[in-house]
Structure 1
Amino acid sequence: LAFGPTEWGFRLPSGLAAVAWCYATWHFARERFGPDAALTALAVAATTLGPLIIGRAATADALLNLLLALTLFDAWRHLESGRRAPLLRSFLWMGLGALTKGPIALLVPGAVTLLYCASRGQWKRWLQSIADPVGWGLFLLLVVPWYAAALKIHGQLFIDGFILRHNVERFSGTLEGHGGSVAYYLVAVPLLLMPWTGPLVAALGRLRQDLGTGVRRFLWIWAAFVIAFFSLSGTKLPHYVLYGCTPLFLLIAAHRWAPSRAWAHWIAPVALLALYALLPWILALLSASTAGDAYSRAQLGRALSAVSPVYFLATAAALVVWLAVIRALQLPIWHKLALAGALQALTLVAIVVPYAGELAQGPVKRAGLKLREAGEPVTLLSYTAPSFSVYRQAVTPRRQPEPGGLAVTRIDRLPEIGYEILSVEGGVAIIRRQMP
């Protein structure tokens, strides 16, 4: 609210949540694995591809990842020590998570702690923990007033949208075309953890011995449940599995000395930095193919015209610097990977994200700014683009415009008759409904 309805204002909460998420991971690692492992866990959390992207998105996912991490960190502290204070804090974090994105904030901690206690034959302990009356009192005190207010304001629409559509229906079916095979997240996890994919594979090699250690067993169960659960979901989006990546940050850090065959661990950073350098050409090829829909291809059709020489110079320089680090610096593998992470994070944030943002949102932004100056009523016609309202600085309804009115739509959803096309950029069209 302090920054108003602006890009900065909407993205700031995600950035702050991502910073807190990294700090919470470092703090938990320091308690369990020591200061050196904690610094490694911090480096992994702060430089992997998935958290870097979600921490800059104007969504609630970075906040939910923070709250899930805090919930399960305190759940482990309770299981480890038997102290009640961490248990009560976990109920507090769950309540905030339920306000953020609904039942998933209860499902993940409940299932992970159940599976861990079941693996130890500690059913009674789990039942005692989840039946804590003060904990549930804290949870309900947080959740009920807000849910009651939302129900009063929105009625059945709140239940249909927030509870059913964005939770039950996303699991039971494929929404908005975001489907995938059961193996979807087995591919997504290594990609989201780049450039730390090599150490992830090394940590997997220690899985059996880790199951004999309480905290490591807990972390593996946490990661495995999230991957398995969302693999069964009808709707699949890459960021869902980030809910189970926090334990992988910690396990990679705990096994930081395990990697051998250094060359195998250089593959992921080289591939990622090379991808950044080649991205404009790859996107241009996709735009000329039959992949996806006409709107997406039109947006990507600007891939080469929207890129600057600075992009090619910076991404090529990042790749050259990393190759020089591999050859010239005599450092442990995980130290070099931390440098790779910092290098790819800087390249991603300073160079790649602005370029990708221009491709995805540039036409929408310019349409919003143009129509903001026009001062006429505008609607979104068969088009979901929340950012358009931000750039226009006005809530834009999704409906057919009045005769003579303006609308913004996708080029693959242009009405066949009754409209005049005023302008087209990428996949975004501004149209005016003709008078009868």
Structure 2
Amino acid sequence: MSESVSQVPGPSSGHSSPVSHHIAVLLILCGILFFWNLGALGLTDRDEGRNAEAGREMLETGDWMSPTFNYEPRYAKPVLVYWLMSASYKMFGVSEFAARFPSALFGLGLVLMLYLFLTRLRDANTGLLGSLMLALNLQMIGLNRMALTDSVLIFFTTLSLFAFWLGFQTTRERRPWMWVYYAAMGIATLAKGPVGFLVPLIVVALYLSLTKQWRSFWQEGRPLAGTALTILIALPWYAGMWWLHGSEYTAAAQANTVGRFLKPMEGHSFGFLFYIPVLLLGFFPWSGWLLFAWPQTYKSWRAARKTDVTRDTSHVTAEGTANRAGFPVESPNLSPATRHASQSDSLDWFAAAWIFATFVFFTLSSTRLPHYIGPLFPAAAILTASYWSRCVRDPSTRGANASVHLVMWLGFVLAGAMACLPWIYDTMLASKLTKEYPLATQLSLGSGPYVAATVLLVGMGLVGLFGLSETRRGAAFWAASGSLFGVVLVLMVFVLPAANRYFVAPQQELAYAAGLNLAPGEQLIAYGATRPSTAFYARRKVLFVGSGEEEKLRTALSQPGRTMILLPESFVDKLPGDLKNYQPILKRYGYLLLAREPMVKIPEGILPPPPALEPKIFGH
């Protein structure tokens, strides 16, 4: 790279003093971003509802082997996240907070792990930059506040790749770190299936191919023993599921792994370029700098290949300053500054390979969802922090001003979209959502989007003011951080609660009320709105009846015992004629709870809709 070695503090340059302060800052920030009001919003459907209920049923039944949803086998995801949720329920009680707590906890752990990793290999300031970039982006904030498998998966794939780097690129403590590399892959496989070991494997394979270090890896990386360790950790649960459930499990597991890769599932195909805007938006505001960091890293790697030190013909010297492929490794005889400079470029190359391999892998998958590329975000933070640190230290760094302009324009576009959101919702979206959300047209987004847009505009203006100044460029990072933090707070305080009130909470409140009033063995039917979270809030098995399945509804209602029906008000006219003796006992924002008997227990904390929004029931 173009900067001088003296400008880059190495790991032994006295960075320990600010570490405790940095960690305190990260704990406070992540406490706000990941944990604050974590249980304030209802569970989203479908994944959050399914995962949370599967964890609850595991705790209730005591079956720690076979996950279930709605008391039926759930083969879509492995068991680790359900174990974590069950433990969280045991600690905090069954709630939205407890369901999401493992994601928030592993999100915090990921941020701290990245900080310690970069502080060890670079310096404390770069560690702080990278960890803040990882914490302060829309994608990671969202994933760490939801009851999904992704936060746990990202933590362990990142731990695996960090351990590979520490074990393979350094001579000290090599053996323990290589074992961690393989063990973390096994745990990641228990979090989300084969992707848990495939992501680290393809990243390492690409890096070893680009740097021509396969021979060294086979000699020093313990691939056979390490693979055995990965299998030893992951295989027992998978083998147990096959033993208990046979071909039924293997067919379902294959459909949710290989099947998702080979063909779109649940309509989640999107386009081949889908992940480009996902990365630009999800990693905002750092995505603008990332796009310029990538070509600079590629040029560095190309230049290094032309030098003698990176030729495959070089070998380990007497001092141990190069590995068998010629790429520098740590040596006790090197000065701290020289050791740091030799590792700096190769770490950037590793991060670039990590991003590229993960991005291409999930792009080739036929089923595409925004959170799938989450495992590349730690590498994106490493590469972006490295590039931005270079821009601050060396004003002549190529692309420094252009990257600031790109960040600004991405922010301006996003601010414009936020300012237009109320108009877009009212004129284009609300009427289309009424089938799923009956009172969607009555939702007002209020001033929240305008406030968020204003915060973003001011923040991007400050990014330009500072970032285009060679003497004050470092302040642009804090302006970008502050603007993103402000936008997230506005969304969390104003916009999301309003959406939750109309889109998420009504059906869940009625399900909760039904669960309070139904005895064990009595029946709750969800008709026309088959959201998995209904089972979580009702704390019981729910019969889901879709539109057009009225015969299934009649059959269920012929069973003895008390029954309640939860449905959108618009579905009342579709009820079979012989059900008119069912009367509404509770209503919420376009949803009804029907029964033949009145409610015995009135739920606490359920606010009725404003009088002007009260729906009419059966035309009365």
Matches for 1:21-420 after TM superposition, within 5 Å: 21-81=110-170, 83-128=174-219, 132-161=223-252, 163-211=253-301, 212=304, 213-256=345-388, 257=391, 259-261=400-402, 262-288=404-430, 295-296=435-436, 298=438, 300-304=440-444, 307=445, 311=448, 314-315=451-452, 318-319=455-456, 322=459, 325=462, 332=474, 333-375=476-518, 376-381=522-527, 384-398=530-544, 400-401=552-553, 402-403=556-557, 405-408=563-566, 416=574, 418=576
AA of the residue aligned to 2:98: G
AA of the residue aligned to 1:119: L
Kept after mapping to 2: 8 A contact 1:71/1:109: yes
* Alpha-carbon shift at residue 244 of structure 1 (Å): 1.6
* Alpha-carbon shift at residue 334 of structure 1 (Å): 2.1
For the residue of structure 2 that corresponds to 1:379, the secondary structure is strand
Tell me the matched-pair count: 427
Kept after mapping to 1: 8 A contact 2:137/2:484: yes
For the residue of structure 1 that corresponds to 2:183, the secondary structure is helix
Q: Per-residue CA shift, 1:76-102, capped at 9, x if unaligned?
A: 222212512111001111111111111
* Stretch of structure 1 that moved more, 371-380 or 239-248: 371-380
For the residue of structure 1 that corresponds to 2:169, the secondary structure is helix
Q: Hey, what's the Cα distance between the residues in 2 that align with 1:22 and 1:411?
A: 45
Q: Per-residue CA shift, 1:19-56, capped at 9, x if unaligned?
A: 11111222222233322221111111111010000000
Could you say if the C-alpha distance between residues 360 and 224 of structure 1 is closer, same or farther in structure 2, counting changes exceeding 3 Å?
farther
Could you say if the C-alpha distance between residues 267 and 60 of structure 1 is closer, same or farther in structure 2, counting changes exceeding 3 Å?
same
Kept after mapping to 1: 8 A contact 2:405/2:464: no
Q: Hey, what's the Cα distance between the residues in 2 that align with 1:226 and 1:426?
A: 42
AA of the residue aligned to 1:145: P
Q: Hey, what's the Cα distance between the residues in 1 that align with 2:361 and 2:223?
A: 26
AA of the residue aligned to 2:209: A
Q: Hey, what's the Cα distance between the residues in 2 that align with 1:95 and 1:377?
A: 41
Q: Hey, what's the Cα distance between the residues in 1 that align with 2:505 and 2:277?
A: 30
Kept after mapping to 1: 8 A contact 2:434/2:441: no
* Alpha-carbon shift at residue 331 of structure 1 (Å): 5.5
* Alpha-carbon shift at residue 11 of structure 1 (Å): 0.5
AA of the residue aligned to 2:106: A
Q: Hey, what's the Cα distance between the residues in 2 that align with 1:84 and 1:166?
A: 35
Q: Hey, what's the Cα distance between the residues in 1 that align with 2:211 and 2:594?
A: 63
For the residue of structure 1 that corresponds to 2:497, the secondary structure is helix
For the residue of structure 1 that corresponds to 2:135, the secondary structure is helix
Kept after mapping to 2: 8 A contact 1:194/1:272: no
| Greater radius of gyration (CA) | 2
Q: Can you give the 5+ residue segments of structure 2 that lack an aligned partner in the other structure?
A: 1-88, 305-344, 392-396, 467-471, 546-551, 597-620
Q: Hey, what's the Cα distance between the residues in 2 that align with 1:210 and 1:302?
A: 55
Name the structure with the higher helix share: 1
Q: Hey, what's the Cα distance between the residues in 1 that align with 2:242 and 2:568?
A: 33
Kept after mapping to 2: 8 A contact 1:210/1:216: no
Kept after mapping to 1: 8 A contact 2:294/2:352: no
* Alpha-carbon shift at residue 109 of structure 1 (Å): 0.9
Q: Can you give the 5+ residue segments of structure 1 that lack an aligned partner in the other structure?
A: none
For the residue of structure 1 that corresponds to 2:525, the secondary structure is strand
Alpha carbon RMSD of aligned pairs, Å? Answer: 3.3
Kept after mapping to 2: 8 A contact 1:294/1:412: no
TM-score, normalisation: structure 1: 0.85
Kept after mapping to 2: 8 A contact 1:318/1:347: no
* Stretch of structure 1 that moved more, 262-271 or 105-114: 262-271
Residue 8 in structure 1 maps to residue 97 in structure 2: yes
* Alpha-carbon shift at residue 356 of structure 1 (Å): 3.9
* Alpha-carbon shift at residue 415 of structure 1 (Å): 9.5
Q: Hey, what's the Cα distance between the residues in 1 that align with 2:281 and 2:235?
A: 38
* Alpha-carbon shift at residue 370 of structure 1 (Å): 3.1
